[in-house]
A = this chain, B = another copy of it.
């Protein structure tokens, strides 16, 4: 029975390996006009995966396995798999395939709309996708609100009640703090893109990410993907600022997590990080706790000055201040650490609206602009810097953004509660020790432990958003 399961699992892994490689190719280099044919091929491959996972044979096999005694790894894997199958057991394969096609169409429409800066070109495709998601959620669990289901899909155990509480703290504690913080002048210098790339390779080396088991590429939106622990890929984008450095550090957090998952899990379904929230805690940890710290730049600023001689006119303190500059801006991925959760709060409120009875597809972009004005005092001039800035919704990722704020909060909790002196290790440029520590407590497990177990294991207590507020207050009141 287990052999049969492993054989099917191997096939599913092979399809997913193919789909992941195709998708990475599409996001980084594939020619524009290849879209249509690729879509057709991808749909065929997705159909092949579903022919297995939606078969009675597979469902029966997983159910049978859930009733026998298995080792710790297999027990967890089968439990996760059964949960997924149970959720979809009443959803016809055709609907899931249609969903997959709608989301491909929607991200295509998003691209075109973004280029034209016009939400109206995106609206219909988005509406179709939302309707399909509501339909599927209605079948999966008619007794639970669709958005609560989506939140739980993304981060097990989370729902509107918990997130409302979390985001209330953002409103009560962080928004007032933003108003207190004075901004410092930013560094006015356009770094050469080719040298930026060389510097990102320097940072990769400084973080000790292994390029024999991974690579760096470029894409419009930075992301990290992996098919197994020996092939982990991060991308960045080079623009006219130093954004590439912080976004590389962010992706390196995801990438270190993936690369340090035990290679013994490579053949299993546990080979992925356990949840978006835990994943984002790692990217935020490397980006903010390490990458926006003075200790880190004490060790690396001279190299940056060497590679960009124009930076010699700025002291380490000035550079550090610019890295931690607080400013109300329109674009989430360029946001500073302090205003970041407000960007997420806005997306959370819009998602709640989408899944409420008041929802009107024609109002989304206005609502977006209104919320930016309300919370950050600024208003997008067009949809490209408004609702069209993120690709996520076009993929059908609803309930996903909140995990970004959650991740920042978990990173802060790790910072305060871990048994390791993280500040000291950063000062000593002992990133290897930090990697090892995170590997031991988080990374190695892949999806073996639940998010709660992970948080409990590294900090000795359950998730507590107060550390996040404390972290931001301490860091930004110091100034």
Q: Does A464 contact B (CB under 8 A)?
A: no
* CA of A10 to CA of B42, assembled, Å: 11
Whether A30 contacts B231 by the Cβ 8 Å rule is yes
**9 CB < 8 A contacts A-B:** A13-B44, A18-B18, A24-B25, A25-B25, A29-B217, A31-B214, A32-B213, A34-B228, A36-B230
Q: Which residue of B lies closest to A35 (CB)?
A: B230
> A residues 1-38 with Cβ under 8 Å of B?
10-11, 13-15, 17-19, 21-22, 24-25, 29-34, 36-38
Whether B25 contacts A41 by the Cβ 8 Å rule is no
Q: Does A424 contact B (CB under 8 A)?
A: no
Tally of this chain's copies: 2
Q: Which residue of B lies closest to A228 (CB)?
A: B37
> A residues 407-425 with Cβ under 8 Å of B?
none
Per CB-CB distance, the 6 closest pairs between chain A and chain B, nearest first, are A18-B18, A14-B44, A34-B231, A17-B41, A33-B230, A14-B41
Chain B residues within 8 Å of A11, by CB: 44, 48
* CA of A17 to CA of B25, assembled, Å: 12
Whether B217 contacts A31 by the Cβ 8 Å rule is no
Chain B residues within 8 Å of A70, by CB: none
Chain B residues within 8 Å of A214, by CB: 31
Whether B18 contacts A41 by the Cβ 8 Å rule is yes
Chain B residues within 8 Å of A288, by CB: none
* CA of A29 to CA of B29, assembled, Å: 12
With known contacts A18-B22, A25-B21, A45-B18, A38–B215 Cβ distance under 8 A = no
Q: Which residue of B lies closest to A7 (CB)?
A: B44
15 more A-B residue pairs beyond the given contacts A15-B45, A18-B19, with a C-beta to C-beta distance below 8 A: A13-B41, A14-B41, A14-B45, A17-B38, A18-B18, A21-B22, A29-B217, A31-B211, A31-B215, A31-B230, A33-B212, A33-B213, A33-B231, A34-B227, A36-B230
Chain B residues within 8 Å of A30, by CB: 215, 231
Q: Does A243 contact B (CB under 8 A)?
A: no
Chain B residues within 8 Å of A24, by CB: 25
* CA of A17 to CA of B22, assembled, Å: 9
What does the 1/0 interface line of A339-379 toward B look like (CB < 8 Å)? 00000000000000000000000000000000000000000
Chain B residues within 8 Å of A13, by CB: 41, 44
**Of B29, B33, B230, which contacts A37 at CB under 8 A?**
B230
Interchain nearest-CB distance for A364 vs B (Å): 32
Whether B215 contacts A37 by the Cβ 8 Å rule is no
* CA of A442 to CA of B29, assembled, Å: 29
With known contacts A21-B21, A227-B37, A230-B33, A10–B213 Cβ distance under 8 A = no
